[in-house]
């Protein structure tokens, strides 16, 4: 059975929704529980495939993981494993986050090399260089990372490229190292701050939160704690772009506006009216036509690469020209061909896409090539004339909790359907 979303043209999105906890914050918080024995609790956890995959990795290592709604309980008393297998790591690249804590607590780790993704290579050289800088021995053989160490030893380490994942792994490894580790050019995404808060609550000594220069004084032992994940700024940004391109009026609750400064500035430049309060953001795009705006992605607090596909869908649906340059991933443009199937006029040259917005899109069958590309196609379908069928929607289950329900709350008609490939004609059974 292959599920797809049936998206019909909609009125302007109106209403309010609650934003879920951040996938990209929860995954490091889950990996950090491997650093000690005991029962850790993580609140505000979204129910997503990637969270389920990380839970399976922890279970494979011996942990007991259970859910109570958005509360995750992780018991690591019986955690003795040091292997993260290929079938799990290849499902989700962030499984590599277990490398640091396994080395720190057990002195060894066998982690399958994560594959690439839809838009090209996703190297892990910075992760491995960081472990070696902490005095771990690292060998690659038969598709696996074999790493081992006595006790890791604190060091100075400079990231050649700002890397969220490599910063996560270095934090998770250095907190139990002997001596002091100083990190330079570390990632400063909000998800890193969330992890630092958890580790310091566990008894770590990490200084410099919010800056690219971190100092970690290694300790001998950490204890389990309860922590809450921050709201998902990429989910929030996706719905704000949907509201803007549909000329709607939408309020997002349970979101931190400071985490979206670059996007909010660009939406304001486009002509949307934005109001923020400590717990929410309201966007109003009802009163004047929007202009497409060019963007360039970059490490936080610059415009997030994970919002660039959605931004492209908006620019393609407006009248005017715009350029999108991605400085994080030079080839993250798999969604261009699919948007062009919806009547967009987009050309790619190097790490830039050039959009000539014609002011309207027309519905057609398309396929999601990755998580954020799928989101972009749904947003385009919401404003396109007629019906858009978005296939390969399993990508979306990785990063958007209750997607169709939240869109329905805002007045969008996005239905999950299944086509039975074996019947003479595809029977559309609306699975709600």
Catalytic residue numbers read 117
Nearest position to ligand EPZ, beta carbon? 165
Instruction: State which of residues 11, 161, 268, 345 lies at the interface with ligand EPZ (CB under 6 A).
Output: 161
Stretch in the footprint of ligand EPZ (CB under 6 A) among 80-88, 101-109, 120-128, 133-141: 120-128
Task: Confirm or reject binding of residue 89 to ligand EPZ (CB under 6 A).
Answer: no
CB of 120: closest distance to ligand EPZ in angstroms? 8
Task: Confirm or reject binding of residue 329 to ligand EPZ (CB under 6 A).
Answer: yes
CB of 26: closest distance to ligand EPZ in angstroms? 9
For residue 359, with 0-12 CB atoms within 10 Å meaning exposed, 13-18 middle and 19 or more buried, which class applies? exposed
Instruction: State which of residues 222, 233, 283, 306 lies at the interface with ligand EPZ (CB under 6 A).
Output: 306
CB of 237: closest distance to ligand EPZ in angstroms? 11
The residue among 24 and 144 lying less far from ligand EPZ, judged by its C-beta, is 24
Task: Confirm or reject binding of residue 22 to ligand EPZ (CB under 6 A).
Answer: no
DSSP string, 202-253: TT-EEE-TTSS-EEEE--S-----EEEPPB-HHHHHHHHHHHHHTT-EEEEE
CB of 419: closest distance to ligand EPZ in angstroms? 27
Task: Confirm or reject binding of residue 335 to ligand EPZ (CB under 6 A).
Answer: no
CA nearest neighbour of 370 among 76, 119, 86: 119
Angle of helix 371-383 versus helix 233-245 axis, rounded to 10 = 20
Instruction: Assess contact for 223 and 202: CB atoms under 8 A.
Output: yes
CB of 208: closest distance to ligand EPZ in angstroms? 18
- In the region spanning residues 377 to 396, those forming contacts with ligand EPZ, defined by CB under 6 A, are none
Across 151-163, b (16+ Cβ under 10 Å) vs e yields: ebbbbebebeebb
The single-letter DSSP state of residue 126 is H
For residue 390, with 0-12 CB atoms within 10 Å meaning exposed, 13-18 middle and 19 or more buried, which class applies? buried
- In the region spanning residues 393 to 432, those forming contacts with ligand EPZ, defined by CB under 6 A, are 399
Residues that bind ligand EPZ in the complex, under the rule CB under 6 A:
24, 27, 93-94, 122-127, 161, 163-166, 187, 305-306, 328-329, 371-372, 399
């Amino acid at each position: 059975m292959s599920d797809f979303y049936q998206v019909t043209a909609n009125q302007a999105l109106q209403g309010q929704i609650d934003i879920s906890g951040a996938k990209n914050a929860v995954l490091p918080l889950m990996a950090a529980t491997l650093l000690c024995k005991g029962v850790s609790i993580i609140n505000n956890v979204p129910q997503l495939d990637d969270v389920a995959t990380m839970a399976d990795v922890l279970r494979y290592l011996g942990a007991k993981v259970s859910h109570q709604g958005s509360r995750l309980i992780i018991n690591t008393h019986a955690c003795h494993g040091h292997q993260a297998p290929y079938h799990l790591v290849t499902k989700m690249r962030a499984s590599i986050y277990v490398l640091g804590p396994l080395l720190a607590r057990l002195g060894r780790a066998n982690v399958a090399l994560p594959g690439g993704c839809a838009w090209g290579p996703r190297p892990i050289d910075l992760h491995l260089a960081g472990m070696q800088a902490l005095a771990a021995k690292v060998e690659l053989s038969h598709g696996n990372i074999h790493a081992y160490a006595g006790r890791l030893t604190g060091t100075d380490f400079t990231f050649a490229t700002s890397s969220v994942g490599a910063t996560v792994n270095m934090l998770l490894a250095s907190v139990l190292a002997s001596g002091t580790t100083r990190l330079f050019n570390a990632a400063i995404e909000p998800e890193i701050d969330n992890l630092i808060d958890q580790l310091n609550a566990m008894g770590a000594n990490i200084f410099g939160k919010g800056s690219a220069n971190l100092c970690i004084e290694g300790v001998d032992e950490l204890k389990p704690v309860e922590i809450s994940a921050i709201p998902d700024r990429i989910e929030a940004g996706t719905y704000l772009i949907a509201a803007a391109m549909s000329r709607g009026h939408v309020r997002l609750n349970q979101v931190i506006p400071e985490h979206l400064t670059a996007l909010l500035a660009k939406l304001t430049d486009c002509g949307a009216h934005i109001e923020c309060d400590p717990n929410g953001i309201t966007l109003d795009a009802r009163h004047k036509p929007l202009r497409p705006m060019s963007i360039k992605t970059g490490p936080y607090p610059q415009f997030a690469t994970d919002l660039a596909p959605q931004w492209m869908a908006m620019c393609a649906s407006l009248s005017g020209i715009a350029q999108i340059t991605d400085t994080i991933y030079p080839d993250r443009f798999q969604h261009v061909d699919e948007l062009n199937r919806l009547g967009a006029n987009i050309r790619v040259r190097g790490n830039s896409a050039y959009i000539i917005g014609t002011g309207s899109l027309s519905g057609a069958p398309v396929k999601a090539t990755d998580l954020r590309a799928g989101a972009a196609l749904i947003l385009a379908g919401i404003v396109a004339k007629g019906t858009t069928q978005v296939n390969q929607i399993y990508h979306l289950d990785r990063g958007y909790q209750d997607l169709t329900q939240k869109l329905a709350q805002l007045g969008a008609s996005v239905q999950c359907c299944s086509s039975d490939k074996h019947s003479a004609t595809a029977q559309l059974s609306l699975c709600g």
